[in-house]
Structure 1
Amino acid sequence: MTEDRADLPPGLALSWGVLPVQRRGPKPALSIEQIVATGIEFGDRYGFEAVSLQRIAAQLGVTTNAMYRYVRSKEELIVLVHDKAVGLPPELPSGWRAAAIAWVDAQVKLYEDRPWLLDVPIRGAPVTPNLLRWVEVMLAALAETGLSQHDNLGCLMLLDGCARNYAGLARQLGASDRTPVQSEQVGQFLVPRLMEGGYPTLVSLYLNQEYEDDLDDDLEFGLARILDGIDVLIAKSP
């Protein structure tokens, strides 16, 4: 399928399989699929900054200028690579609450496998097939809540933010080579100074071993509170 895509956002038409109108000349040596697959490979190996027209062109044995026969810009390339790398969401369990937990967990796992996706700029609401499928399945699960479409979208944004925030924090902590804040040595150093300096609440947390960096517990706790809040919203809805 081909049609003019000049008035559409970069990558939108190509992501849906709508190719540009073909010009006369030699048959293209590459395909969009090859280019996108190479971009994902670079992202997985070297990170987001490695996903570039120049690098992909060199890998595929063509000039950078030749790449513009397939994609209009780096922005268009990133849109296509992002959507393909995200892939399809999992099948969600029944019940909106269980579905929300599975949806967030799947996003966290995705970012764990491909942390470079967190670096992809967000330029608006999702419009590409795979990203929209993630939205579709979660909105379908939330439909049983009886909330308005507007409220369901708001709930989805909260869940998405929860997954992104957790994944971003886990990524930073995983990349850090600094001594963890909850280490025994840090506690031994800080507790007497906290006592002297007037931090009684933090002293109590340290002494009770509650001031620890257990991200799994943080995710479960934060997500449960979000879901509890949605439950309250459901109960208040007419």
Structure 2
Amino acid sequence: MSAQPPAEPDLPRGIALAWGVAANPQRGPKREMSIERIVDAAVEIADAEGLGAVSMSRVAQSLGYTTMSLYRYVTAKDDLLVLMQEQGIGLPPEPDPDLDPTDWRGRLRSIGRAQLELHRHHPWLLDIPIEGTPVTPNNLAWMDAMLDALSGTPLDQGERVAVILLVTGQLRWQSLIERSYEVAADAAGIDPQAIDDGRSAVLDAFVTAEEFPAVRLAVDAGVFAGEEDPFAFGLERVLDGVAVHIAERAAGAPAAGPPIPPEPDGVTADKRVRDARKAVKEAEKRLRDARKLERQAVREARAKAGRQPD
């Protein structure tokens, strides 16, 4: 007896649309309306104004149709977000032909650069929540590309997925920080370089060797005014750690230990624990206030000393 094919799952409409297995609407505007046009319009709005500006009514208005017309094609905004993300991320880049197929590090770095460019081109992608394992075609294609980059390593399947989470987490953090810089510049209506220059001026003026000796050394070394990319350093150190683990696995070391278990519910609910954590927060606040007073006193003492005659 031949094996029966797996039953087709009952999918949310957005995911079904992404896989191309959703039924087309039976009624609605004629050929001018389509899923593709709806998603194109939504992405255009998000690119220009951010994800918060996207609504079913706004997309319908941009297309010249009623909101109810859209619901015949996309039944909910969440479904629209799924399709927007699919279009926004597209497919991963093909492996660089100049890279050795066994160069897992170079291949992950290449995919990482492509992810950063996606986030710079469509920053609203960062606002779409991560809801577990990807289940749409383009998301899975990116995962497949990263897993394939690790296919020649001694890591087991679970470790490979863990490496992907580690690397993409670093890239997502970098993208969020970069976007925050751009948002601040846009809000101020000035060039991002001017903001960087202003911050450098503040650090140079207020960071003293007496109050912040370690930071002062970094300022004097030109760290905050340098041209080097600190994010690239972070990614390389992540890859360094992966390389060490791969070498250890190749030498016969066991896989990573069991996951750290979550804190039992009873611990969080215990009144003594809650009271102790509240006391810690209050103590931290008092410490911050005390340090603020100390900085003010130092500034006043320095100003007074500067006014004294020689």
TM-score range, shorter chain: 0.7 to 0.9
Aligned-residue offset at 1:51: 2.2
Task: Output aligned runs, 1:27-66, within 5 Å.
Answer: 29=31, 30-66=33-69
Matches within 5 A, 1:88-99: 88-93=91-96, 94=101, 95-99=103-107
What pairs up with 1:1-238 in 2 under 5 angstroms? 7-20=10-23, 23=26, 25=27, 29=31, 30-93=33-96, 94=101, 95-177=103-185, 179-180=195-196, 183-191=199-207, 194-197=208-211, 199-212=212-225, 217-237=229-249, 238=252
- Cα displacement string for residues 26-83 of structure 1 (whole angstroms, at most 9, x for unaligned residues): 6754211111111111112221122221111122222211212111200001101111
**Sequence identity, in percent?**
37
- Counterpart of 1:222, as a letter, is G
Q: Please identify, of 175-184 and 7-16, the stretch whose mean Cα deviation from structure 2 is larger.
A: 175-184
Unaligned runs of 5+ in 2: 1-7, 189-194, 253-310
Compared with structure 1, are the counterparts of its residues 76 and 208 closer, same or farther at alpha carbon in structure 2 (3 Å cutoff)? same
1:176 alignment partner AA: A
> Comparing both chains, which one has the higher relative contact order based on Cα–Cα distances under 8 Å and sequence gaps of 6 or more?
1
**Contact 2:28 2:72 (C-alpha < 8 Å) held by counterparts:** no
Distance 1:180 1:27, change over 3 A: closer
Change (3 A) 1:231 1:182: farther
Q: Secondary structure at the match of 1:54?
A: helix
Residue 118 of structure 1 contacts residue 168 of structure 1 at CA under 8 Å; is this kept in 2? yes
After superposition, give the CA deviation of every residue in 1:176-195 in whole Å (9 maximum; x if it has no partner). 2474377552233124xx32
For residue 18 of structure 1, report the CA deviation from its aligned partner: 0.9
Query: Cα offset for 1:147?
Result: 0.4
- In the other structure, the counterpart of 2:278 is none
Bigger radius of gyration, 1 or 2?
2
Query: What runs of 5+ residues in structure 1 fail to find an aligned partner?
Result: none
8 Å Cα contact 1:10/1:79 also seen in 2: no
Runs of at least 4 residues of structure 1 off by over 4 A? 25-29, 181-184
* Gap change, CA 1:40 and 1:184, over 3 Å in 2: closer
Tell me which amino acid in the other structure corresponds to 2:220.
Answer: L
Per-residue deviation, 1:158? 1.0
SS at match of 1:180: helix
Task: Decide whether aligned partners of structure 1 residues 41 and 49 sit closer, same or farther in structure 2, where only a CA change above 3 A counts.
Answer: same
| Superposed CA RMSD | 2.3
- Give the TM-score taking structure 1 as reference length: 0.87
Give yes or no for contact 2:119–2:175 (8 Å, CA) kept in 1: yes
TM-score (norm. length: structure 2): 0.68
